[in-house]
Structure 1
Amino acid sequence: MKKYIPVLCLLFFCTISLSCKKFLEEQSQTEIIPKTVESLNELLLGEGYQGVYGGVSSIQCFYDDDKEHRKFVFGKKASYYPYTWQPDQEQMLFGSFWENAPWAGYYKFIQICNVAFDYSGKVKGTQAEKDNLEGQAHLLRAFYYFKLVNLYAKPYTDRLSSPETDLGVPLMLTSGVSLEGKPRNTVKEVYQQILSDVEKGIALLEKHKKDNGVYRISYLAGYLLSSRINLYMGNWEKAIEAATVVINNKPSLIDLNTWGTPDQNNKPIINGESPETLWAFGKQDDVTFDGNHAINDRGNYLLSESLLSIYEDGDLRKSIYIKGGKSIKRRSYNLGSGKTAQALRVSEAFLNRAEAYAQLNKSGSIANAQLALKDLNTLRKKRFATEKYADLSSTDADDLLKKCYDEKRREFFEEEEHRWFDLRRHGMPSFSHHFYESEGLKLKFTLQDHDPAYLMQLPKEALILNKSLVDNPRPAIRVGQ
């Protein structure tokens, strides 16, 4: 695959203001202006997708309550910083390689999407090919802004949030400008842009329904993303509508009763060949934290007792998703080269719809309670040993919502940032982590209710280079007790 625009040109945070548009106009022997839609499609796949050619290191799984530090190992303490919610995490973990952190990483992908928009009208190709390109770019840009606003801004529906005034992230919608001097848009403005991109992306891809393969985002993946976004915004009916499109078109759920012997490396749950997968993406070491970056102590952490304790008797996920207290949903790192490690899965559509029904039930539409239970039970039938399975029932609206939350936690631990984002939108509660400072010394660190650490700080480099940015409140330095 030709590399049409070097990624380095997209570090538009740099002190020398150099737009991609200007860069493209200054042709050289190694930098080629795209001439065809096919060229732009190659660029989008190679530089605009969070895949095997480029990723974003995810440290958020250390924030939530699904991980526990279980042992002391001398000299390995990198994950201590996110695990104990210390300030300046990106600086401590990534240092001069800050482009691997979420802020710079997602903006690089967004800038490639913008390049696709800016050049699609200038290159050769059919309208169907251009629609296909722009549809992917719209959905990808929505996905990346969704990640950014949920990492660096307040949740949309929290009781203390005001989306109209809360600071979100800067919106960059063309390739010919830099972040320099660009202030943060509000949370509401960012979500409005996300919804606009999702609607446009779905419309363009659904019009032709071209099969781009599971490693490119599709209109059905767009509908799943739409259900997730609307769920986060409290738009329950819209979340149900979008999830229903996914379920009606691809109701496939893995039946763990027919899974056979668990085999992490030859048939992982998360992979492009799974019947549940709508879109497979993400580098292996973005999740498992090996490779060349600082987080190299993942072996010191196991799944938490609070997570393991909510699996019921007969739940096959306990043996097919978990072994030795660790996730085996994706391939081992040493077999992960060239493999994706994340996926948008059909099972999320059932869980998003169930929660939306349960939320409507809580607001007084009691007929929706049975619809929520039906979706939960449809998934659970495929996850429990047949002889142990029994339908769920609920005692009241709060109990039903808790069942929805627990089922999602059982299904999606260590996938994307699901648990961390859910903790944020479900009230930003207080909970604690324990860390082994030495062989016999276990310290307790507590994330307080609505703690400032529920929002990531903006990278120092971004604040230095863009004086218009306002940082989030700085969390206190954590001292274990």
Structure 2
Amino acid sequence: MKRNTYILTLLAIACIAFASCKKFLEKEPIGKTGKITLFETVEGANKAMSGVYNLMLSYYKTSFGLYADIASDNVIRGNKANVLLPQFNFQSAASDDALAVGDIWLNGYGAINNINNIINAIPELKSKFPSQTKTLDSIYGQSLALRALCHLNLSLVYAQPYNYTTDASHLGIPVVLKTPNPGEAVARKTMKETYAQIITDLSNALPLLQQYANHTTQAAMSYQAALALLSRVYLYKGDWEQCINYANLAINDVNYKLASNSEYLSVFNTYPADNATTKLESIFLLSNKGLTSNGSSIYTVYSDAAGAQYSTAAKLTNFFDSDDIRLTKMFTIPLSGDNAGKSLTKKYGDGTVTSITPQVIQVIRLSEVYLNRAEAKWNLQRYTEAAEDLRIISQRAHPSRTITIAYSSNDDLYKQIANERSRELCFENHRFFDLARRKENLQRSADCNANTCGFIYPNSRYVLPIPAKEIDANKSIIQNPAYTN
């Protein structure tokens, strides 16, 4: 008997976890393949989008959102650490279907599956409800941009970075634009093809989202978020001119601004007011508003004094000056419990997971876009301009003195930009991916308590294995090297 690919045999049931999905998805058998009959109203389309954002939050606050910091040199584990412990120790196995290896794959493609259901339903809805074309175009634009983000995230975890080969001909991930038929094999695209689809989706989303350029909430994909995301994509691709172009569009938007030094902590512990005239720092965030946290969520794992499983490595804290507000305001040291004397980030709570309600997860912040632009300018030998972008982010973090960027060489400036990125974006799921795309070695600090404290680039451990169930069910899938036995 034919089997569906693991991607979508399991993903087709992903909506069951969300009540909002139950109401607008139902199965209607047609022949042997069956068909998912989507919603028949615009209200149903809006509920579908809510279900997608819930799915996105689900995987951002668990395995995916934790991965790039736990696998990096930013953390050390506590005595009771079990969340992503194989990834911390670099002992991932293809058979870890129930752990992060399978979880990131399943949830990432689960979100893509639901997004594709929306995309494929929009043309018929526009035909039925021509007076609501703008609303449906916004939903369609959000869906395209979110699909691009999901494909990008999966490629960061399961494929070597874009520049791993000179022409990006190495394996990327399966690019899924519609639900495969039962038994249909879905092969991995090259990384060049993967990024081409990501860029196509974002480019197609822009004109649809532009009609809502001043989106009412930062907890939804907007025109500005798609611009900022394109700056990230082009940074990872190494297309420096395009990275700068899209970064400029996001940075120059008068509706968004960097938080001041006094406002900085609020970016992480306050849900931004909807319909704000000027949006502070957050270009796109996810929120657990109305939801509850759990023991394996990002909030508990990093920021709960009693339950945190990972604390800050000395290498990271040593990156900061003593008067840097990101050190003085964004870390806490519990006085008692298992984490007594250890440094915990306050980005997800001030000692307890209930101290911030609702909790937020920053997906794209304006400061990242400045740092994207700084790195791209450096690569184009526009060193003075790169230093100015770096100065803007550093000055915000040092309100008590005037910052000037001095560098002994161009390579020294590059190192300063990389270190600033580590300081600014720590615990926001960037560090390990940054090391990989910059082709840097992993070298944890002297307090490392992992089984592996470093390795040289290039290395097969910069990617996770494709889950074994996917390999078994989808004969077109090629496993990543080092995980084939």
TM-score higher than 0.5 here?
A: yes
Alignment size in residue pairs: 437
What is the correspondence of 1:194-233 to structure 2 with a 5 Å cutoff?
194-209=198-213, 211-233=215-237
Aligned to 1:389: 402
Aligned to 1:38: 43
Three-state SS of the structure 2 residue aligned to 1:299 is coil
Return the letter of the residue paired with 2:157. Answer: L
* Distance of 1:42 and 1:247 partners within structure 2: 31
Whether 2:444 is the aligned partner of 1:422: answer no
Structure 2 unmatched runs, 5+? 16-23, 31-35, 274-278, 334-342
Return the letter of the residue paired with 2:280. Answer: P
Selected match of 1:279 from 275, 284, 290: 284
Selected match of 1:109 from 85, 98, 111: 111
What CA deviation, in whole Å up to 9, does each residue of 1:122-178 have, x standing for no partner?
1243221221011001100000000011111111123xx255421111111123546
* Distance of 1:245 and 1:190 partners within structure 2: 24
Aligned to 1:449: 457
What is the correspondence of 1:38-187 to structure 2 with a 5 Å cutoff?
38-52=43-57, 57-58=63-64, 59-60=66-67, 61-69=69-77, 71-73=78-80, 76-88=81-93, 91=96, 94=99, 101-123=103-125, 124-125=128-129, 126-158=132-164, 161-175=165-179, 177=181, 180-187=184-191
Whether 2:474 is the aligned partner of 1:458: answer no
What CA deviation, in whole Å up to 9, does each residue of 1:336-370 have, x standing for no partner?
67633233111111111111111111xxxxxx211
Whether 2:347 is the aligned partner of 1:329: answer yes
Change (3 A) 1:207 1:470: same
Provide TM-score, normalisation by structure 2: 0.80
What CA deviation, in whole Å up to 9, does each residue of 1:215-257 have, x standing for no partner?
111010000000000011111111111011111114511122x
What is the correspondence of 1:340-379 to structure 2 with a 5 Å cutoff?
340-361=360-381, 368-379=382-393
* Residue 208 (structure 1) shift: 4.5
Deviation larger for 15-24 or 138-147: 15-24
Would you say the 8 A contact 1:184–1:470 is kept in 2? yes
Would you say the 8 A contact 1:37–1:120 is kept in 2? no
Return the letter of the residue paired with 2:404. Answer: D
Three-state SS of the structure 2 residue aligned to 1:408 is helix
Would you say the 8 A contact 2:82–2:309 is kept in 1? no
Whether 2:243 is the aligned partner of 1:239: answer yes
* Distance of 2:152 and 2:183 partners within structure 1: 18
Change (3 A) 1:251 1:450: same
Aligned to 2:337: none
Change (3 A) 1:399 1:271: farther
Return the letter of the residue paired with 1:400. Answer: L
Return the letter of the residue paired with 2:345. Answer: S
* Residue 25 (structure 1) shift: 3.2
Aligned to 2:476: 468
Three-state SS of the structure 1 residue aligned to 2:9 is coil
* Residue 116 (structure 1) shift: 1.1
Three-state SS of the structure 1 residue aligned to 2:464 is coil
What is the correspondence of 1:295-306 to structure 2 with a 5 Å cutoff?
299-306=308-315
Whether 2:415 is the aligned partner of 1:411: answer no
Structure 1 unmatched runs, 5+? 1-8, 362-367
* Distance of 1:229 and 1:267 partners within structure 2: 24
Return the letter of the residue paired with 2:175. Answer: L
* Residue 12 (structure 1) shift: 5.2
Identity rate, percent: 22
* Residue 376 (structure 1) shift: 1.2
Return the letter of the residue paired with 2:477. Answer: L
Would you say the 8 A contact 1:270–1:329 is kept in 2? no
Aligned to 2:19: none
Change (3 A) 1:63 1:38: same
Change (3 A) 1:275 1:186: same
What is the correspondence of 1:305-320 to structure 2 with a 5 Å cutoff?
305-320=314-329
* Distance of 1:424 and 1:460 partners within structure 2: 24
* Distance of 1:202 and 1:464 partners within structure 2: 38
Change (3 A) 1:427 1:164: closer
Change (3 A) 1:251 1:121: closer
Would you say the 8 A contact 1:10–1:111 is kept in 2? no
Would you say the 8 A contact 2:8–2:110 is kept in 1? no
* Distance of 2:147 and 2:217 partners within structure 1: 19
Return the letter of the residue paired with 1:419. Answer: R
Change (3 A) 1:391 1:242: same
Selected match of 1:253 from 255, 258, 263: 258
